Structure 1
């Protein structure tokens, strides 16, 4: 799950605020297309990161440079689609009869799941002490993904008892792997060096979900909360922090607030397009105004807070959100409004990732660990220049096909 619930955006309409979404009738194909396309590009750029001699516009912009490439918009696109899914997921839970406590427990469980996955994945990449561990980091990582599958699988058997037994074994496996992990000098245990991509999504999801509930789903309060997230970051990175001991502590979560601002942009966009009381023409006007306003404020903030993905600056967040809104508007027009052949092809192409995003996201990491264990590596020519770029695109396609095959075997993950 790369969102509140990638699987629960299959609801036809969003009626006003939290009274929002009603009954699940069909999947919203434009949301599926955006989600699946984002994951496909993510797999492509992750594989491309190991290729030498690619154009600068196909790499992340260095932290010291005021600018961004399309690669720097991939993570914001994840966050944006998280936001678009939140109103649907909450309405779905309420339609199932969840009360306030059950809903909050559901939100916290998802957040915890993302944080756990993020921390394990980060420690598998760096900070481990191989000599102090009883098994190789590659095997440790592979066992982690297997345990994660047991915990978050979607109905493997016809028996609820057996499914929950498998989940219990998965939890035990994660605990055992955490205990045998060693980092640093060999005495350190599993710890969040940083939260990882999934962990960052988890914090942003939690903040945005609370904002959505507090706002009642109304667009104006959501916009004010979006502005508050941006201001929180700005204050936390201003000169006033230099003259206080308490303020740096109170404003220490600027990065999470910045990421949450992108999620809130997704929430607002979903409310604009799928509130049943909105006229079609009014939706396009509101979305255009929102995207234009975000770009304008990004330009105004840029002199003081340069565009930087690494620093999660407001200018990067707002520019990225504006781009995501524009892209979603295009997809919505092609897929939902005009129902163009290219839109139908795109939906079919990204269907595996849209139907099982968490599984599709994790598959490349599993493949990498298997290759390391089996001492398999790619030929050098596939790690350079145009051949490397072509291979990265083919690899992303192969992962999509693998996800489709696993879906047919009823192997899916969901937080």
Structure 2
């Protein structure tokens, strides 16, 4: 059964985003299991290895790049000026970085020294996120009420910062450890979105940016950026080059698609994606002997191999979803692609609520194959809950 692509949207991007978010929820739940196969888990910092969990985040960075040209085009259709678009990019980036900062500090919290406890802090963080970033336009509430709700959300965030204690002895306040997943996405998005707007989407500029970020990644691993400590302390994710490089790869792929479609040469898109996939994979495997494949160390091999996967998956999904119209198979996970932030953040409500009420499955249901099945079902339930909330106008939007 086929379904035509909605005008103005690329089904392949929505489906790839949905699949990636579904599996991100899945791998983020593996901590609750026992006896998880090694190939599903993250590799350690010293391993030359790529586990399934190590490819999810880079694919999401690639998808962020895929989305940028279409998001900017939609803004321009609404009449937004370049200045207004840049301001929107800045606000989205700061929001992602702030969310990542709080979530990363949650990992380091000394729960026994926080007056509301770890789970209370996590729940309040979720409430603050909901109040600030709910898509209030869908609710029909007056602007005055919306500002009031967002103001309460800001107050919640300030309160959480004021009561925070972190570190082993609870002596440290909130600080940057590694920016968190959303923070890393925010930095990569900021750099690539600004590059796209500044270059007016010129493909040669974007390819040059992609190459530059990859070279910066090599330079960082080679130790050539060792003197950039101030910049590293302020915006470390930009110095490594790895995350911006992954996002830039998606950006290049999306611009190639748009240009080929507008010139009537869409059929050559698959060849382009195949060439880029081969080049990226060759780059990754070619540099593997130098630094190995490591997500934690953000090695060039990890960047190249995951970029190659991104190009290949985007090309294949575009053929099946957009050209052949075969999208119904992905309907069940659709909310993960259209309300992605909501799906990602729901576990930050679910886990603390479960812990407060002591809702723990028997160990037999959290071990081996049965445990993996449990996490797959959990991820699906989160996505279905996201879709249900979306129907009732509860959707987060930056």
With the length of structure 1 as denominator, give the TM-score of the two structures.
0.88
Corresponding position: 1:72 with 2:54:
yes
Please report how far the alpha carbon of residue 405 of structure 1 lies from its aligned counterpart in structure 2 after TM superposition. 0.9
Task: Find the residue that maps to 2:389 and give its secondary structure.
Answer: helix
Q: Which of residues 184, 195, 199 is equivalent to 1:211?
A: 195
Closer/same/farther in 2, CA of residues 248 and 122 from structure 1, 3 Å limit: closer
Task: Find the residue that maps to 1:302 and give its secondary structure.
Answer: helix
Please report how far the alpha carbon of residue 314 of structure 1 lies from its aligned counterpart in structure 2 after TM superposition. 1.3
Closer/same/farther in 2, CA of residues 240 and 204 from structure 1, 3 Å limit: closer
Q: Which of residues 204, 212, 235 is equivalent to 1:228?
A: 212
Q: Which of residues 137, 146, 149 is equivalent to 2:127?
A: 146
Q: Structure 1 unaligned runs (5+)?
A: 1-11, 13-23
Corresponding position: 1:196 with 2:180:
yes
Q: Which of residues 250, 272, 275 is equivalent to 1:289?
A: 275
Q: Does the 8 Å CA contact 2:220/2:239 hold for their aligned counterparts?
A: no
Please report how far the alpha carbon of residue 187 of structure 1 lies from its aligned counterpart in structure 2 after TM superposition. 4.5
Q: Which of residues 79, 97, 114 is equivalent to 2:96?
A: 114
Q: Distance in 2 between the 1:26 and 1:231 partners?
A: 34
Q: Does the 8 Å CA contact 2:132/2:154 hold for their aligned counterparts?
A: yes
Closer/same/farther in 2, CA of residues 181 and 241 from structure 1, 3 Å limit: closer
Corresponding position: 1:412 with 2:398:
no
Q: Which of residues 295, 298, 303 is equivalent to 1:312?
A: 298
Please report how far the alpha carbon of residue 226 of structure 1 lies from its aligned counterpart in structure 2 after TM superposition. 1.0
Q: Which of residues 274, 277, 281 is equivalent to 2:258?
A: 274
In the other structure, the counterpart of 1:40 is 22
In the other structure, the counterpart of 2:147 is 164
Q: Distance in 1 between the 2:53 and 2:223 partners?
A: 31
Q: Which of residues 49, 74, 82 is equivalent to 1:100?
A: 82
Please report how far the alpha carbon of residue 50 of structure 1 lies from its aligned counterpart in structure 2 after TM superposition. 2.7
Q: Distance in 2 between the 1:135 and 1:71 partners?
A: 32
Please report how far the alpha carbon of residue 299 of structure 1 lies from its aligned counterpart in structure 2 after TM superposition. 2.3
Closer/same/farther in 2, CA of residues 250 and 361 from structure 1, 3 Å limit: closer
How many residue pairs get matched?
386
Please report how far the alpha carbon of residue 278 of structure 1 lies from its aligned counterpart in structure 2 after TM superposition. 4.7
In the other structure, the counterpart of 1:16 is none
Task: Find the residue that maps to 2:36 and give its secondary structure.
Answer: coil
**Counterparts of residues 6-405 of structure 1 (less than 5 Å):** 25-126=7-108, 128-155=109-136, 156-184=139-167, 185-240=169-224, 246-247=227-228, 249=230, 253=237, 256-275=240-259, 276-340=262-326, 343-346=327-330, 348-405=331-388
Q: Distance in 2 between the 1:96 and 1:163 partners?
A: 23
RMSD over aligned Cα atoms: 2.0
List per-residue Cα deviations over 1:336-379 (Å, max 9, x = no partner): 11223xx3221x12211112100000111210011112122121
Task: Find the residue that maps to 2:394 and give its secondary structure.
Answer: coil
Task: Find the residue that maps to 1:49 and give its secondary structure.
Answer: helix
Q: Structure 2 unaligned runs (5+)?
A: none
Q: Does the 8 Å CA contact 1:291/1:325 hold for their aligned counterparts?
A: yes
Please report how far the alpha carbon of residue 322 of structure 1 lies from its aligned counterpart in structure 2 after TM superposition. 0.7
Task: Find the residue that maps to 1:267 and give its secondary structure.
Answer: helix
List per-residue Cα deviations over 1:38-84 (Å, max 9, x = no partner): 11111111112332222221111222221212321100111011001
Q: Distance in 1 between the 2:64 and 2:225 partners?
A: 31
Q: Distance in 1 between the 2:157 and 2:50 partners?
A: 37
Give the stretch that moved more between structures: 250-259 or 358-367: 250-259
Give the stretch that moved more between structures: 194-203 or 254-263: 254-263
Q: Distance in 2 between the 1:142 and 1:247 partners?
A: 38
